[in-house]
Amino acid sequence: MATVKKRKLLTIGTTAHAERFTGKQLISVRKGTTTRSVHSLAKNASIRMASSSDFKANPERFESAFRDGDGIYFERLGIAVVNERMEEGIQMLTTGARSRNAIAGAEPERYVYALAKRASAVRRFTDTAQHTWGIQATDVMKSSFTGKGVRIAILDTGVDDKHPDLRGRHITTKSFINRESAMDGNGHGTHCVGVSCGHQQSSSGLRYGVASEAEIYAGKVLSNSGRGSDRGILAGIQWAMDNKCRIISMSLGSPAFEGEPYSRIYDEMAAELLSKNILLVAAAGNESDRPGMMAPVGHPANCPSIMAVGAIDSKLNVASFSCCGTAIRGGQVDVAAPGVDIFSSVPRPDLYELMDGTSMATPFVAGIAALVIERYPTANAHEVWVRVVQTARRLHGASTDIGSGLAQAPR
């Protein structure tokens, strides 16, 4: 295999002490409420609200709604984001007599971060000249399915769509970061695209990708420094919906604290997407430092309606950094995948790097879900979820760490 370096992403992957809240607020709109009603209620609360449909031709410009007005309403998601220093208007909007049947609630908007981290492990599986250890462990090379025709959205730091291993692929890109193109200036996004959708035969000679014929939709929702916010994630999710993606892979997150509730707004959105045949897959988080400290699954993976992915090493043990399920509803790890010493693509000129993190485990599961959809074309998103977790390989370890086990490709 090619000689590659091990990426050190400590500032991106270790988010326990990172800034958490932006000052903006997410507003949840009840199902069945018309867009006209939302704008009327916002106007009565002295909130100048734009609609995401106003930016349909150029969705990447949605941030101007916060400069030129007070916020934006993502109609297809039923979620609004309102500027900071609008407390009086938000209170009127969420508690007013006219709003009770339309507005479900509000919560702080979070910063989110790319979730890659350096770690070390003694290997049981090893990369060969043909396959990475992760491809072997997930049985991908034994599967006859390639994800052909399945659209996967990877919401991350963008992608180098001119990477030699992505030639000839169906790739659609969009940036939701101000003054940054969809070109990946970080490496994290291209690495995740490679794991989920890389070719069966890469220019390195080593297969590292799962769904080698899936259609790639790379939405840049994290900056080149690896940081973003909920509003960018929501814009990316709505874009993926508009492009009829069946799977949305999110190797990103924000830390949660023990006993902290999950986002009701995100969970309601994810449940609605499941009913519309779209599966959200997210990284559990890298805040643990085992064996001494196990951190809870982070946002948004801690939502019950989002599939949370933990990381294992090549000995099939839980990775030292992988977050843990909690006793409260939500916050569980649903399934695990390879997340230590993961070989994949990065932008030119380096081409390849090894990375660690639940960020690397997540695109394995997203790619496997695409294979399941190809294998069972009539399966809805709930059924795809069930097949992924029920066919996982049982491992020694607590379900709070690894969920149902190691995700496996269908045959």
Cα 252 from Cα 366, distance rounded (Å)? 14
The yes-or-no answer on residue 37 being catalytic is no
Residue for token pair 């993961």: 342
Distances, alpha carbon 85 to alpha carbons 28, 64, 68, 269, 376, in Å: 18, 17, 15, 25, 49
The yes-or-no answer on residue 163 being catalytic is no
Radius of gyration of the chain (CA): 20
Angle at 9 between CA 7 and CA 13, to 5 degrees: 135
Question: Which of these is catalytic: 156, 313, 334, 356?
Answer: 156
The yes-or-no answer on residue 188 being catalytic is yes
3-class DSSP assignment, residue 72: strand
Looking at the DSSP bridge assignments, the partners of residue 127 are none
Cα 265 from Cα 282, distance rounded (Å)? 16
Question: Which of these is catalytic: 131, 163, 188, 299?
Answer: 188
Cis peptide before 164 (omega within 30 of 0): no
Residue for token pair 């043990």: 317
Three-state helix/strand/coil letters over 84-142: CCCHHHHHHHHHCCCCCCCEEEEEEEEEEEECCCCCCCCCCCCCCCCECHHHHHCCHHH
Question: Which of these is catalytic: 191, 359, 401, 404?
Answer: 359
Asked whether the CA dihedral 304, 381, 395, 125 is positive or negative, the reply is negative
Angle at 377 between CA 376 and CA 383, to 5 degrees: 60
Contact (Cβ atoms closer than 8 angstroms) between residue 240 and residue 366: no
Exposure string of 52-87, with b = 16+ CB inside 10 Å and e = fewer, is beebeeebbebbebbeeebbbbbbbbbbbbbbeebe
- The residues annotated as belonging to the active site are 156, 188, 359
